[in-house]
């Protein structure tokens, strides 16, 4: 089994975007936004998908640290999985 997160990248990114919008730790006003994020992160899937598409090519620092072709394959696999998922 390959190493990696147990949560899809699309969900993780969507949760961050939702949390940033609602949490007092970011741009929101809710002191405890966790329950809100649990209920509403799916509304941020399209934004999360846009983020994934924007990072399918690594930057110079990433390319210098590893294999940019592998990075692209990994991100594109996450994009494909997200686009195939039916909610």
**DSSP for 13-56, written as a single string:** HHHHHHHHHHBTTTTS-BS--HHHHHHHGGGGHHHHHHHHHHTS
Please give the chain's pLDDT, 87 residues, in tens: 456 678 999 999 999 999 999 888 888 787 888 999 999 999 999 999 999 999 999 999 999 999 999 999 999 999 999 999 866
* Residue 15 domain boundaries: 9-84
What's the confidence (pLDDT) of residue 5?
Answer: 76
What's the confidence (pLDDT) of residue 49?
Answer: 97
What's the confidence (pLDDT) of residue 6?
Answer: 85
In a domain, 2, yes or no: no
9-22 and 45-54 are packed helices; what angle lies between their axes, rounded to 10 degrees?
A: 120
In a domain, 1, yes or no: no
60: DSSP letter = H
In a domain, 4, yes or no: no
In a domain, 42, yes or no: yes
Count of domains in the chain? 1
What's the confidence (pLDDT) of residue 1?
Answer: 40
The whole-angstrom separation of Cα 48 and Cα 82 is: 10
């Amino acid at each position: 089994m390959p190493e990696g997160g147990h949560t899809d990248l699309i969900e993780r990114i969507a949760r961050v975007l939702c949390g940033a919008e609602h949490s007092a730790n970011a741009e929101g006003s809710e002191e405890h936004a966790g329950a809100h994020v649990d209920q509403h992160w799916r509304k941020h899937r399209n934004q999360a998908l846009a983020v994934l598409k924007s990072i399918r090519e690594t930057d110079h620092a990433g390319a210098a640290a590893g294999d940019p072709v592998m990075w692209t394959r990994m991100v594109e696999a996450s994009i494909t999985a997200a686009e195939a998922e039916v909610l």
